[in-house]
Every structure is written in structure tokens, then in C-alpha cells.
Amino acid sequence: MFDFDIFEIIVFLSRFVLPLLAVTIVARAAASLLRERAEPELWGTLSFSGGLRLPLTHWENVIGRSVSSDVALKYPTLSRTHAALIRDARGLWRVHDLKSTGGVTVDGREVPPDGYPVHGGSIIGFGGITAVFFPAGEEAQYLADGVDYELTDYEEIEEVAPLRRPIRSGFTLALLTEFQLLLGVAACCSRWETLSVAAPISFALLIALTWGAYALTRVMRRRGFELETLAFLLCSVGLAVTCSSAPSQAIRQMLLLAAGLALYFSLGWFLRDLGRAKKLRWPIAGAGLALLAVNIALGGTVFGAKNWLQVGGFSFQPSEFVKIALIFAGAATLDRLFARRNLIMFIGFAGACVGALALMSDFGTALVFFTAYLVIAFLRSGDFATVFLSVAGAAFGGFLAVLVKDHVAARFSNWLHAWENVSGSGYQQTRAMAAAASGGLFGVGAGAGWLHRVFAADTDLVFGMVCEELGLIAALAVVAAIVVISVFPVRSSERARSSFYVIAACAAGAIFLIQSALNILGSVDILPFTGVTLPFVSKGGSSLMACWGLLAFIKASDTRKGASFVVKAERRAR
């Protein structure tokens, strides 16, 4: 039988090893995600008179005079955004007139408002300028058939260019497994005298789910596992928090993680077919509104917010899943991006969601929704005036909420004054700040803190709990992991195949960032205390599952070969 001192030694050593492992895991994943560039894919070419030959490197290509166009042409007869040449998942192409002044023609026929199909050898006219269109791989055949046009030498681009270096996630995953094992052992040793069997079982389930997800991606012939590695790192910290505050719910938390993984892979499969996602996005948005309506009618009120639904013996927050519906409604392919009616429908849907959340007095989540709306609205319109008007309207609505809702006014009055009432309105935040300070750089050890005794320590105040038990270094690694996940969509947008994936991924990243900022800065009294969760870390099934669903949008925007859901893997040679 081990002496109790051995457990103290394990906890002591883990305090220094765990932050080092966390920083190393985040650094390796970030280096692979942010430094490694996806090579361009060639999907077709446009050959102009005089030998000018331009590649089409996206499924959706804007052609115009603007320097931001995918195919930028310095001709005065072209509009800034003149036309869009779009490929679907079946390989069929259509050209659309983006309300240009000079018009668009295909083989002499004027393009109608809903677009016109083009094929290899089609002659497309853009405001008096003509070009011959060829899908990738078909140009040589048309040359052999005697198509009459002039070419000059150019640098060859492979149809799907390989990565500069292969993606290697195995070693990082091994470090993550070591982190999970040590974290689980330390959490169990800290509470050895009152240890619940749920704690070791839950960490065993976590490691099994991590490697099961990795094995599934390998079966799908996907080697890129960096995003999932960062998400599992955050979930590991979240499980340690749960084992400290509510050990009896640790296994339940892992079962909900399994459900989140199922949602992640299902949504990833769904997003592979862009046509299917386009057709079903409004039915999904309608289901989200219906869910909010049911919540308003039948939901229960918890601490002033009517944001919970009871189904049988389970409770969940519908607004967490409506975030996915919001992204589906906001994301749009290029042929619909410039349609004003489509944008107005999205603005109406977003306004209905924010209004419903305001009726439920869930203003923290309403702010998250509004931030995602701003990102989507700007990406779709590029109009700062729309953004400024939206912000002004939201500020006016927030001012009314402070006047009408007492609990909202109380939180604003307590903002920056938490230490003036440590036993009243500032009780939670002052305890969180004191616990975070007591943790120092390396923490007091997993499971050895005291903040878990304070209400909502494992949800709204979870950052303070992480700082106390794992230390400031590990807590900053958690923040860095969320930032890397959120910034990656911006980094990958240049090579994304469709604006649908770009808008959806950037909106999901914005949700992660704003939630993290509200949770972390709210718990230390830098921002008003809103009560939103920290992605992947806070205890709760609705938030955890929704975070994995949002991660699927970010994964779909990654077009690196062997990394993404939407890039089909090459068939194995016999």
C-alpha cells in the first residue's frame, strides 16, 4: 500500500510538468496550423486574347477590376466585381452576372439573372472582353481538337498541389495523452482519501475518445489532427475542473463529449456536400427559431435568465445549438452573396434570435449572437455603414435592457466595483480573483484548490479555477489554444474553396473568441459579468456539444491536403 506522501510528491511534480506539456502541445499545433500554407488548387483556366492565361484556384471566383477579385483585370469596361464563375461539387460550372454595367455573355448569349452553364471551350464575354474557359485537365484535349486561340508559356500548376511537408500529428497526440494521464493521476492523488471511482474511469474514457477520434480520421485518410488536438486539450482541462467540483458528474461529462464528437463528425460529413448544405440551411434556421420559441414558452428561469428546457430528466440550453443554425443561415455561396434579398433574410433571422434571447433575459448569449452577426454581415456585404448602424442599434437596446432589467443593471453597477462588496454582489468575482492569484505560475495542483466550493466555479468562473489549480502558465496555454482555433479560419480563408466555408468558419471563430473574452475578463471584473461559458472547458453538456459542432465549420474551411472534411482523400493504389 502506497504511503500518502507519494501522492503528495506526484501532485507536486505534476504542477511543473503539466504547464510545460500544455505549452508544448499548443505550440506544436499552432506551428502546424498557422505556419504551414496550403498550396493552391487549380480548378480551371481563363485564356484571353494576346496570350494572357489566368488560373481559377477556387470553386467560386470573382472576376472584375477590383484588386481583391480572384481574377483581377485592369480593363476600364469591367465593373469592380463584374462576374462570378462558380463550380459545384459535381464539377459543373456556371457564370453569374454580378449586376455589372457591361454585361456577361456565353458563346454570344446574354447571361440571365440565375446564371448560365459553361463548359470546356465556352467563350465568355466580360464587358466586351472575351476569354476561353477550360476546366482543369481538359485544356490539352481541346488543343488537340484544334481550338483556335493563342497561348504563351506559363508556370504549370498541379491540379491538386501537394503540401510542402507532411502533417505529423502523432507525436503531438502522444504528448496530449501524457498530459491527460498525468492530469488524471494528479487529480486522483489530490483527493485520494475521498476518491470517487468516476474520476479514473472518466479520464480513461477521455483517452479512449481521443484515440478513437484519431483512429477515425486515419480511417478517413485524414492526417491533420491539430484542431482536434487543441479541442481535446481544452476538454482535458475541463474534465479536471469537473472532477474537482462535481466528481460524480465526470462520467456524464465524458458521455456528452462522445455525443459532441458524434455531432462533429456528422456535421463534417454533411458539410462535404455544399449543395446539400445550401438547400437545408433555411430549414435548419427555421428549426433554430422554433427551438427558441419553445424555450420562451416552456423554459425554466435560472438566475434571471429563462434559457433552460427540461426534457424528461435532462435539461439543456437551446440557445447553444441555435448558434449552429445562425451560422447556417449566415453562410452563403458566392452566387447568393450579392443577392440583397438573401442578406435581408439573414438580418431578419439574426434579429429574431437576438430578440428571443432578450425576452429570455439571456443578454450574455445575445451579445455572442450579435458578434457573430456582425462578422457575417461584414463578410457578406463589406459595408461598414451596415455594421455601424447595427452596433448603434444594439447599444440602444443594451441601454434599454439596463433600464428595464434589474439583474442586468445590478451587474453593470457592480462592474469594476467587485471589491467594494466582497460579501454581496462581488462575492463570486473576488473569490475567483483571489483563487487565481493564489495559484501563481504553476498552481496548487489539480484537484487541490478551494474555489470549487463557490457557486458556478466550474462554469462562469472556470478560468479562476484553472489558474488556481494548474497555474497561470497552463491557463494562458488554454487561452492560446482557443485563440489559435479562432484565428485559423482567417489564415485559411485565402485558399478556401467557397465563401460558404469562409463565412461559417470565421463566424464560429468569432463565437469562440467573444465567449472566451466575456468569460475570462468577466470573472476578473475587467468586463461585466455575463455568465457565458468558456468553450470546451466549462462544465455542461449543451455548451460542450455546441462547441464541437462549431469546430466542424472551422475544420471544413481547411483545404490542406489530407486535413479537411471537404477535400476528398485520394484513392489508395491497388
Q: What is the pLDDT of residues 447-458, one digit of tens each?
A: 888 998 988 889
Q: Residue 241: what pLDDT?
A: 93
CA 436 from centre of chain: 28
Q: Residue 401: what pLDDT?
A: 52
Question: Given a cut of 70, is residue 2 above it in pLDDT?
Answer: no
Cα(288)–Cα(280) distance, integer angstroms: 12
What is the average pLDDT across 125-129? 85
Q: What is the mean pLDDT of the chain?
A: 82
Question: Residue 479: what residue type?
Answer: V
Query: Which band of pLDDT confidence, cut at 50, 70 and 90, is reported for residue 234?
Result: very high
Cα(553)–Cα(534) distance, integer angstroms: 19
Residues 253-290: tens digit of each pLDDT: 999 999 999 999 999 989 888 888 888 888 998 999 99
Cβ 449 vs Cβ 463: under 8 Å = no
Of 227, 228, 323, 238, which Cα lies nearest the Cα of 546?
323
Cα(266)–Cα(183) distance, integer angstroms: 30
44-144 adopts what CATH topology?
Answer: Tumour Suppressor Smad4 (2.60.200)
Q: Residue 137: what pLDDT?
A: 62
Cβ 176 vs Cβ 233: under 8 Å = yes
Cα(346)–Cα(499) distance, integer angstroms: 16
Cβ 126 vs Cβ 83: under 8 Å = yes
| Grid coordinates given for 479 | 487561452
Residues 317-347: tens digit of each pLDDT: 888 999 999 999 888 776 666 666 777 888 8
Cα(485)–Cα(488) distance, integer angstroms: 6
Question: Given a cut of 70, is residue 165 above it in pLDDT?
Answer: no
| Grid coordinates given for 564 | 479537411
Cα(441)–Cα(270) distance, integer angstroms: 43
Cβ 535 vs Cβ 547: under 8 Å = yes
| Grid coordinates given for 335 | 452566387
Cα(433)–Cα(515) distance, integer angstroms: 19
CA angle 217, 223, 225 (to 5 degrees): 75
Q: Residue 250: what pLDDT?
A: 92
What is the average pLDDT across 163-185? 81
Question: Given a cut of 50, is residue 352 above it in pLDDT?
Answer: yes
Range(s) for CATH 2.60.200.20 in the chain?
44-144
What is the average pLDDT across 104-122? 88
Cα(163)–Cα(183) distance, integer angstroms: 35
Cα(157)–Cα(63) distance, integer angstroms: 20
Burial class from Cβ neighbours inside 10 Å (0-12, 13-18, 19+) for residue 159 reads exposed
Range with the poorest average pLDDT among 113-127, 329-343, 382-396, 507-521: 382-396
Higher confidence at residue 193 or residue 510? 510
* Beta pairing, strands 123-126 & 104-106: antiparallel
Question: Given a cut of 90, is residue 60 above it in pLDDT?
Answer: no
Cα(339)–Cα(499) distance, integer angstroms: 14
Question: Given a cut of 80, is residue 111 above it in pLDDT?
Answer: yes
Cα(461)–Cα(520) distance, integer angstroms: 8
Range with the poorest average pLDDT among 72-81, 357-366, 384-393: 384-393
Q: Residue 160: what pLDDT?
A: 39
Number of residues assigned to the chain: 574
* Beta pairing, strands 71-72 & 60-64: parallel
DSSP per-residue string spanning 220-240: TT----HHHHHHHHHHHHHHH
Return the top range by mean pLDDT from 59-73, 392-406, 464-478. Answer: 464-478
Cα(515)–Cα(513) distance, integer angstroms: 6
Query: Which band of pLDDT confidence, cut at 50, 70 and 90, is reported for residue 495?
Result: confident
Query: Which band of pLDDT confidence, cut at 50, 70 and 90, is reported for residue 304?
Result: low
Q: Residue 156: what pLDDT?
A: 34
Query: Which band of pLDDT confidence, cut at 50, 70 and 90, is reported for residue 530?
Result: confident
Query: Which band of pLDDT confidence, cut at 50, 70 and 90, is reported for residue 219?
Result: confident
Residues 404-432: tens digit of each pLDDT: 555 555 666 677 778 888 887 788 889 99
How large a percentage of the chain has pLDDT more than 70?
A: 82
| Helix, strand, coil percentages in the chain from 3-state DSSP, rounded to 5 | 60, 10, 30
Alpha-carbon dihedral angle through residues 416, 417, 418, 422, given to the nearest 10 degrees: 170
Q: Residue 242: beta bridge partners?
A: none
What is the average pLDDT across 384-403? 56
How large a percentage of the chain has pLDDT more than 90?
A: 32
Q: Residue 205: what pLDDT?
A: 96
